[in-house]
Amino acid sequence: MSYKISIVGASGYTGGELMRWALLHPQMEIAQVTSERFAGTPVTKLNPNLRGFTQAEFVSSKQLNTDVDTLFLCLPHKVSAPFVKQYIDTGVKIIDLSADFRLHNPKTYEHYYQPHPCPELLPRAVYGLPELHREAIKKTQLVSGIGCLASSVILACAPLVKAGLIDPSRIIADSKIGSSAGGAAFDISTHHPERQGTVRAYKPTGHRHTAEMEQELNEILAANGQAANASVGFSPHAVEMVRGILSTIHAPVSRPLTDLDVWKAYRSFYSGSPFIRLVKDKGTLFKYPEVKPVVGTNFADIGFELDADHPRIVVMSAIDNLIRGSAGPAIQCFNLMHNLDEKTGLWVPGYHPI
């Protein structure tokens, strides 16, 4: 059986990535893909990698037909919310990759973005990280996207917070991120002469994704009956890659720990989560997570080291921002919402070497 889907904002980077996976998914059939600027243009003019796989043309979102099973919204925040508001009552399932429905508290959304245009819909959205919200995702009509940087940090910290192994109020996260995170629209910060050859801190304090990290870690603390005091000092850096995120997270340990304690926490939290790979392999060059083995895949590679000289743990988390940081979990969520195996259409390794 195939489910009809449409992708709104398909001319962008996450939309293009979603199209690629949807074309390969055994139970997805693409109905429409939208773009305002490129309406009437064949998809392969913008996505040459899809030559031979589709003859579709972009249509304007004004021609969007809701006679589909699922709508994927790959739009900028602020643009997405009105689409959700317009279509939610048709009963169509919606997976919104933007930030508009990630934060439960409209005041937090306003602090980091702008006043929310439809706060009444926020309680209907489930944060689209299957490793944390698998059961709720199965039952909901509206899934929010995840921040790519946020998810790399949340996935690294969640098991440690759940097991009470770290002080959640003193987490420091430093991420390196590739240029595709900025989307397909031109910006001086992603212009080749400005980006090439540099490593640039671009939002050392107050980054929007901090709110998602703290929200999700606080939910784990609250479920444990603990004070919701998660605090993440987060500083991302733009580096010379197109795709990929490597986050390095430092946290004080709450008691002396062994590697086995930490392994157990990760293994137990991620039992039944096929896209999380634990990486700590002393006998190889690739002893910690790094970006190249996850590029082109939906895997999050997570590794750690306990500091023998200081009471802290360092956790490394590597993902592909366009897949594991957005389109990949969106498809995991689609699979869960349709009672399919979570891995359907996503179970591929990356390239090596690349």
Ligand X SMILES: NC(=O)c1ccc[n+]([C@@H]2O[C@H](COP(=O)([O-])OP(=O)(O)OC[C@H]3O[C@@H](n4cnc5c(N)ncnc54)[C@H](OP(=O)(O)O)[C@@H]3O)[C@@H](O)[C@H]2O)c1
Q: Which of 326, 328, 329, 346 binds ligand X (CB under 6 A)?
A: 326
Give the Cα-Cα-Cα angle 311, 314, 317 (nearest 5 degrees): 160
What sign does the CA torsion over 213, 78, 18, 135 have?
Answer: positive
**Residue 56 neighbours by CB under 8 Å, 6+ apart:** 30, 33, 42, 43
Token duo for residue 102: 């990630």
Among residues 42, 106, 119, 183, which is the contact residue for ligand X, using CB under 6 A?
183
Q: Is residue 333 annotated as a catalytic residue, yes or no? A: no
**CB-nearer residue toward ligand X: 37 or 107:** 37
Which position among 185, 201, 223, 227 is part of the footprint of ligand X (CB under 6 A)? 185
Binning the chain into helix, strand and coil, the percentages to the nearest 5 are: 35, 20, 45
Residues 200-219 that bind ligand X (CB under 6 A): none
Per CB under 6 A, contacts with ligand X among 27-86 are 35-38, 61, 74-77, 79
Residue 111 corresponds to which tokens in the numbers above? 């602090």
Query: Choosing from 74, 118, 148, 157, which is the catalytic residue?
Result: 148
Q: Is 297 in the site for ligand X (CB under 6 A)?
A: no
The residues, any chain, with a CB within 8 Å of residue 93's CB and separated by 6 or more, are 69, 70, 71, 141, 142, 143, 334, 337
Which among 162-170, 183-191, 193-201, 332-340 is the span making contact with ligand X, rule CB under 6 A? 183-191
Site stretch for ligand X (CB under 6 A), options 131-139, 178-186, 296-304, 342-350? 178-186
Nearest-angstrom CA–CA distance, 112 and 206:
8
Q: Check if the beta carbon of residue 317 is closer than 8 Å to that of residue 249.
A: yes
Nearer to ligand X, 190 or 335 (CB): 190
For ligand X, the closer of residues 109 and 304 by Cβ is: 109
Which residues does the annotation mark as catalytic?
148
**Interface residue list for ligand X (CB under 6 A):** 9-15, 35-38, 61, 74-77, 79, 97-99, 145, 148, 180-181, 183-185, 321-322, 325-326
